[in-house]
């Protein structure tokens, strides 16, 4: 992989790329003043969007000529100009994908000829990368990555009044008059639940907690279902 891939458009047809700067992920602290204490008390923190600077080199692999170079530049402009943002893959980590990425700044081309290069800046509104997609049918497995990930559960209900999936003290429970064989989908990230494709969020019990899976050993519990699949992406900070 010699260039970036943005919104499924591979720029390697026109440019090679080099990631020249990834700003480390700073933490924005949430603090409170405590009487008699110097400074402030750290209450919590959040990770802001991440900036990634990329240098693009015009590198078509042939001599495109003046008109061809103009065509290349306009194709690059079009590929990078997405007001809705999109996914981004970088040449130094081709197995990872960033979502909600927006090209927010760009410098000038150093030249309008074959040796032209320029810099662009992407703002990663979701700064944690998505890695390998995983699908597990067991109840115990290792979760890779370095950041918690939101799972999706696909269950086949048994006849009964509820299905439930849990991890430690957290669980998601759907109470419904199941006749058996219904397809139940529980998406923890968006807190969405369907039964045979029909929205069933109103049937989620109030005590339910849509949980994430932390990196390392994971042990899940299932009840009220005859089969289950756990799907997730490994997340990397």
Distance CA 100, CA 124 (A): 6
Q: Please provide residue 12's backbone torsions phi and psi, each rounded to the nearest 5 degrees.
A: -65, -15
Residue 232: closest CA among 101, 141, 156? 141
User: Which ranges in the chain belong to alpha helices (H)?
Assistant: 65-80
**Overall average pLDDT of the 118-130 stretch:** 95
pLDDT (0 to 100) of residue 212: 96
Residue written as token pair 């064989």: 181
Is 57 in a helix, a strand, or coil? strand
Q: Taking 90 as the threshold, does the pLDDT of residue 111 lie above it?
A: no
The closest of 212, 208, 206, 182 to 194, measured between CA atoms, is 182
Lowest mean pLDDT among 10-19, 21-30, 214-223: 21-30
Instruction: Read off the pTM.
Output: 0.84
Q: What are 157-182's pLDDT values in tens digits?
A: 999 999 999 999 999 999 999 999 99
User: How confident is residue 59, by pLDDT bands cut at 50, 70 and 90?
Assistant: confident
The yes-or-no verdict on residue 23 having pLDDT over 80 is no
Tens of pLDDT, residues 125-144: 999 999 999 999 999 999 99
Please give the average per-residue pLDDT across 64-88, as a whole number: 90
Q: Do 127 and 50 contact (CB within 8 A), yes or no?
A: yes
Report residue 116 as tokens. Answer: 């032209």
């Amino acid at each position: 992989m010699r260039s970036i891939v943005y919104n499924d458009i591979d720029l390697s047809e026109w440019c090679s790329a080099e990631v020249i700067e990834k700003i480390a992920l700073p933490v924005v602290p949430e603090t409170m003043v405590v009487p008699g204490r110097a400074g402030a008390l750290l209450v919590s923190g959040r990770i802001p969007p991440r900036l990634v600077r990329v240098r693009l080199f015009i590198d078509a692999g042939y001599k495109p000529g003046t008109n061809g170079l103009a065509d290349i530049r306009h194709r690059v402009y079009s590929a990078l100009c997405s007001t809705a943002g999109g996914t981004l893959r970088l040449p130094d980590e081709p197995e990872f994908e960033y979502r909600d990425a927006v090209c927010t700044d760009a410098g000038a081309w150093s030249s309008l000829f074959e040796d032209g290069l320029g810099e662009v800046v992407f703002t990663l509104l979701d700064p944690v990368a998505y890695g390998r997609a995983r699908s597990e049918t067991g109840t115990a497995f290792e979760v890779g990555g370095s950041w918690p990930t939101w799972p999706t559960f696909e269950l086949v209900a048994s006849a009964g009044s509820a299905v439930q999936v849990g991890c430690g003290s957290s669980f998601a429970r759907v109470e419904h008059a199941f006749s058996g064989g219904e397809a139940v989908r529980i998406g923890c990230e968006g807190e969405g639940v369907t039964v045979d494709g029909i929205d069933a969020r109103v049937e989620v019990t109030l005590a339910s907690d849509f949980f994430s899976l932390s990196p390392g050993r994971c042990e899940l519990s299932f009840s009220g279902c005859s089969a289950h699949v756990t799907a997730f992406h490994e997340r990397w900070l």
